[in-house]
Amino acid sequence: MKNLQNLMLHNLGSAANQKTWTEDGLFNYCYNIVFRAGYLALYGNATSETEGDKEKAINKDRAESDVLFKEFRKYDQLFPNLAYNVLPPSGRREASRLLNFFQTFLSLEKIGSKNNISGWISDLISARREEGMSESMIERYMFVLLWASQGNTGPSSFWLLLYLMKDPVALKALRKEADKVLKESGQEVRPGGPPVDLTYEMLMKTPVLDSAVEETLRLVAAPLLTRSVLQDMTLNMANGRQFFIRKGDRMAVFPYIAVHIDPEIHPDPHTFKYDRFLTQKTVTRGSPVPLVLSEAVSRGSPVPLVLSEAVSRGSPVPLVLFEGVTRGSPMPLVLSEAVTLAALLLLVLFEAVTRDLASEPRRAGIIVLELGA
Least confident of 128-142, 159-173, 232-246, 302-316: 302-316
Rounded Cα distance between 180 and 172, Å, is 12
**According to the model, what pLDDT value does residue 19 have?**
64
Most confident region among 148-157, 184-193, 296-305, 320-329 by mean pLDDT = 148-157
For residue 299, pLDDT beyond 90:
no
| Residue 194 or 89, more confident | 89
What pLDDT does 256 receive? 84
The model's confidence at residue 74, banded by pLDDT at 50, 70 and 90, is: very high
Query: For residue 200, what pLDDT is reported?
Result: 87
Name the residue with higher pLDDT: 298 or 156: 156
Q: Are 196 and 189 in contact (CB under 8 A)?
A: yes
Residue 342 CB burial class (10 angstroms; 0-12, 13-18, ≥19): buried
Residue 337 pairs in a beta bridge with none
What's the pLDDT score for residue 336? Answer: 47
Percent of the chain at pLDDT > 70 equals: 72
Average pLDDT value over all residues in the chain: 77
Flag the least confident range among 13-17, 21-25, 165-169, 260-264: 13-17
What secondary structure does DSSP assign to 195-219, as a single string? Answer: PP---HHHHTT-HHHHHHHHHHHHH
- Alpha-carbon torsion, ordered 22, 26, 27, 28, to 10 deg: 10
Q: Give residue 348's pLDDT band: very low, low, confident or very high (50, 70, 90).
A: low
Which runs of consecutive H residues, i.e. helices, occur in 206-275?
Answer: 207-220, 255
**For domain 2-156+334-370, is the CATH number 1.10.630.10?**
yes
Average pLDDT over residues 67-86: 91
Given a cut of 60, whether residue 78 has pLDDT beyond it is yes
Q: Looking at the predicted structure, is the pLDDT value of residue 359 above 90?
A: no
